[in-house]
A = this chain, B = another copy of it.
Amino acid sequence: MSQSSLARLLRLKGELNIDFIESAALRDNPLGDPSNRPIAIYLPASYDPQGSKRYPVLYCLHGYTGDVAAIISARPWETNAVQWIDRLIAERKMPPAILVIVDGFTRLGGSQYMNSIHNGNYADYVIDEVIAHVDGTYRTIPSEGGRGVLGKSSGGFGSLYLCMTRPGVFGAFASHSGDSYFTYAHPPAFPALHRTLEKFDWNIRAFVEHFEEQHKRQMPEYQTIEMLGYAAAYSPRTAKAFDLDLPVDRKTGQIVEEVFARWRAYDPADMCAQKKAELERLRLRYLDCGRRDEYGLDVGARVFTQRVRDLGLKVVHEEFEDDHRNVGYRYAVSMPLLANVLEKE
């Protein structure tokens, strides 16, 4: 069977499909994001749709401001997630596996892969719909032991969050520079949130439309939309678009502790202590982070790791000398580890 032009363009040995699913979980979401969503499915070179062999599946969750198109984007001298797995399999550094890129983008930059009255039910969509589609369409090992989940930044968060709240779905996770220990990660952006929205007279919609219309944006604008994205996931007020509880006081800009406490209720560094059963059933718990991470997520990974080890569970924890950007080369560590613990035929 001849390769798709997309797979050739990316110089893959395997195949890359882009499927689309119509999500019931996202239907009529308040924010107005499409319920028809792309999924990218990488199939290893040995994959034979007519054959009998089944493959484990790695679900890859993109980070905040990412989507399927961005993840499969390729640049000279760079290697994206799909190119990594293709290369690792070709070099026999890992057994063949399917890689699925899930789309969790919203108009505010990302859903955190959570159910939200404001965004729609992205956790349901991933767990109930994406997986059903993949298992229904491809020759997968359609069980907990045949599925791993991984991602970077907010994708790492999603991996941790879904494993802790939807036990029995994934058998292992890898979190690269994943959001954890919100105490360091988010408050540094709160002053930017406050300053920017004050300029827009606290009209979030007006800010978002302004943001979308610009050719270029300044750092405080990116920080602002990011904090709005997290508020939409962690502290929505109602199911009305842009109706969010914000973690900053309008008058002074100081933290509104009640709201930030709602954010922290989803902080993996905190959640994990209550999730022993969910974490214990996993075959691999992997986290890494660059030791210069601009959001202090190296500390977040350390806190998560220690607390899970305090539960008596093993964690594979690595650090490296780098910052938060462009750490896709860490897939060369995580993907083989994941593939090796998952069931194979």
B68, A76: Cβ atoms closer than 8 Å: no
> Residue A8 at the B interface, CB < 8 A?
yes
B76, A73: Cβ atoms closer than 8 Å: no
Q: Which residue of B lies closest to A306 (CB)?
A: B252
**Given A184-B187, A190-B184, A293-B191, A302 and B251 touching (CB < 8 A)?**
yes
B38, A216: Cβ atoms closer than 8 Å: no
Residues in A194-212 with C-beta less than 8 Å from chain B: 194-195, 211-212
> Residue A92 at the B interface, CB < 8 A?
no
Q: Which of A191, A211, A322 has the most CB of B within 10 A?
A: A191
Q: Report the contact-size class of chain A (Cβ under 8 Å from the partner).
A: 35 or more
- Which of A14-22, A275-283, A335-343 sits within the interface? A14-22
**Given A20-B8, A195-B291, A253 and B75 touching (CB < 8 A)?**
no
> Residue A255 at the B interface, CB < 8 A?
yes
Which residues of A are in contact with B by a Cβ distance under 8 Å?
5-6, 8-10, 17-20, 38, 65-70, 73-77, 105, 109, 181, 183-184, 187-188, 190-191, 194-195, 211-212, 215-217, 220, 251-255, 269, 291-293, 296, 298-299, 302-303, 306, 322, 326, 329
Specify which chain B residues have a CB less than 8 angstroms from the CB of A77 in the assembled complex. Answer: 65, 211-212, 217
Partner of A298, one of B10, B109, B191, B326: B191
Q: Which residue of B lies closest to A255 (CB)?
A: B183
Docked CA distance A316–B40 (Å):
43
Docked CA distance A184–B6 (Å):
39
B76, A109: Cβ atoms closer than 8 Å: yes
Q: Which residue of B lies closest to A66 (CB)?
A: B76
9 contacts between A and B (CB under 8 A): A5-B17, A5-B18, A77-B211, A77-B212, A183-B255, A184-B188, A194-B299, A252-B299, A253-B298
Given contacts A5-B6, A70-B75, A252-B303, 12 further A-B contacts (CB under 8 A): A5-B20, A70-B73, A73-B73, A183-B254, A184-B187, A188-B296, A190-B299, A194-B299, A195-B292, A215-B329, A220-B292, A253-B302
A187, B191: Cβ atoms closer than 8 Å: no
B302, A252: Cβ atoms closer than 8 Å: yes
